[in-house]
A and B are shown apart, each in its own frame.
Chain A
Amino acid sequence: METFDWIEVGAKAAFLVIVLLQVVPIMVWVERRGSALMQNRLGPNRCGPLGLLQSLADVVKFLWKEDPVPGHVEPFYYLLAPLVSVVPAFMTFAVIPFASSIQIGTHTVHFQVADLNVGLLYVFSIASLGVYGIIMAGWASNNKYTMLGSLRSSSQMISYELSMGLSVIGIIMTFSSLKLGDIAQQQGQLITQIGPIVLPEWLAIPRWGIFLQPLGFLIFLVSVFAETNRLPFDLPEGESELVAGYHLEYGAMKFALFMMAEYLNMTTASGLLATLYFGGWQLLPGMHTILGLVQSSLGLTGVAAEWARVLFEGASFSIKTAFFMWFFVWVRWTLPRFRYDQLMDLGWKVMLPLSLANIFITAILTFYGWV
């Protein structure tokens, strides 16, 4: 590797980590204000404008709180568990492209930390590691409630990982690539015909995953909620039954790390939903026109115009991701929690058969060349 490559990879990784770290407090704020909005109250509104600095105040509090380690825990694994949940949450975003590429000198820079050949498999393998943080925390805390929480989470995650992995196989079949860069790239095309019917030009819709794999999208969406332990699937923490679930014995910054991991997982899941099913960095309808207007009115040409395009692509990706993150909050404050047997029934008796059927249908459609 040359120096340029090292700088490029380092810069992209640093950029992503910094952005993701900023996303967490903002999401906490959105969650609080959003829940307040839905419950007809104000939410945090004293620190800074609209309570925006509340998260900052919380961080200061987390950092300065006394941070005891209870006497009955397994110290090594107890301290390791928060790290084990946070690190995979950061790692997954490495393969998600947040804009297309740009030419700098002789180099083509892709706005993606690593365009791995095994992209999607990498996402799932890292996502499957996230459960260890929860298991480790529950077990090392040496408490029956945490233990129950971690048992619940591990069985829940295994059950929904299956349907999550299987639902994406449809996407892999239609775009015949595991590379997330390729998948996002291919979604820039248009669907010109549905089966034997050729669509008129004005009806052509973008070739986004949601239009090709509507069922797969639904299954993936539900599974992702279960995988990130968000309501209505937050049984591992179910405060009314398990006090606080797997992070019961944690306080101060260690507790904050678990919260961070949850919000980071949400961000990654939203990014993944946007990339796989909503065209990733492909511009939203109408943004092409705005981009053209901006470029012509500012008189941008050459490199400057290219950078404007990259900015717009980044914005498009961010809007899509932000929508899904809002969706997570929206669902959390709308739906009640599942009962445990309902959760398992949904996973094994509904989601799994549906995702298998989705693969089957996609295979037939692909065989006849309809998708």
Chain B
Amino acid sequence: MNISPYFFYAFGGIAIACSLLVILKRNPVASAFSLVMVFFSFAGIYALLDAHLIATLQIFVYAGAIMVLFIFVIMLLNADVPSFDLGRTHLGIRIATGLLSVATLALFIWAFSTTQLTPPVDQFTPERIDAAGGNTQVVSELMFSEYILPFELTSVLLLAAIVGAVAIAKRKLSEGRS
């Protein structure tokens, strides 16, 4: 009994509905909660695709860490003022936005209807991944052998970002004192 398609439609539906809520909700905290649901349903779809590691990391990193920080900042800043007012935007901008969204949708439909879905490279079929010890093993082996340089470079990039953040915070502090 294969139930995956039903789950796919359920998760996909939730993802689309919640994405709409993210932009339609007036309150930024409520938008952020909807975004968490979007991440959660993405994780569900990844899990259906047998990508358990990605699914878990999606929840762990995005829903569990990044969004908590987002909500924390929103609540701390008490950003209750909506970021834009639909009634006061320029008519031209509104028309342009509408056209651009329709164009993007058309692009997506065109892209997905013309491209042929290729099955995963035979080295990475679900059966082979299971035989090699599962997702985590395969991904980590690749990460620490073939892709070690990009992986380490990413961590350097993150380190640079952390140092930058501390530098900005410290500069504000010393300016405040003087």
Binding site for B on A (CB under 8 A): 1, 74, 77, 116-118, 121-122, 124-129, 131-132, 135-136, 139, 147, 150-151, 154-155, 157-158, 161, 178
Contacts and interface: CB of A to CB of B under 8 A. Distances in A.
Interface of B: 1, 27, 29-30, 33, 36, 52-53, 56-57, 59-60, 63-65, 68-69, 71-72, 75-76, 134-136
Contact of B136 (A124, A136, A155, A178): A178
A126 B55 CA distance: 12
B71 A135 contact: yes
A9 to B, nearest CB: 13
Contacts of B72: 135, 151, 154-155, 158
Contact of A128 (B29, B30, B63, B75): B63
A139 B56 CA distance: 27
A118 B136 contact: yes
Chain B at the A interface: SS class = helix
Contacts of B29: 139
Given A121-B53, A124-B64, A154-B71, 14 more contacts: A1-B1, A74-B30, A77-B30, A121-B56, A129-B63, A129-B64, A131-B68, A132-B33, A135-B71, A135-B72, A150-B75, A151-B75, A158-B68, A161-B65
Contact of B60 (A1, A121, A155): A121
A154 B68 contact: yes
B65 A128 contact: yes
Given A117-B135, A150-B75, A125 B56 contact: yes
Contacts of B52: 116-118
A77 B33 contact: yes
Contacts of A132: 33, 36, 68
A56 to B, nearest CB: 35
B53 A125 contact: no
Contact of B33 (A125, A136, A151, A178): A136
Contacts of A128: 59-60, 63-65, 68
B59 A129 contact: yes
A116 B64 CA distance: 19
Contacts of A135: 68, 71-72, 75
Most central of B1, B33, B135 by chain A CB within 10 Å: B33
A370 to B, nearest CB: 21
A154 to B, nearest CB: 5
Contacts of A125: 56-57, 59-60, 63-64
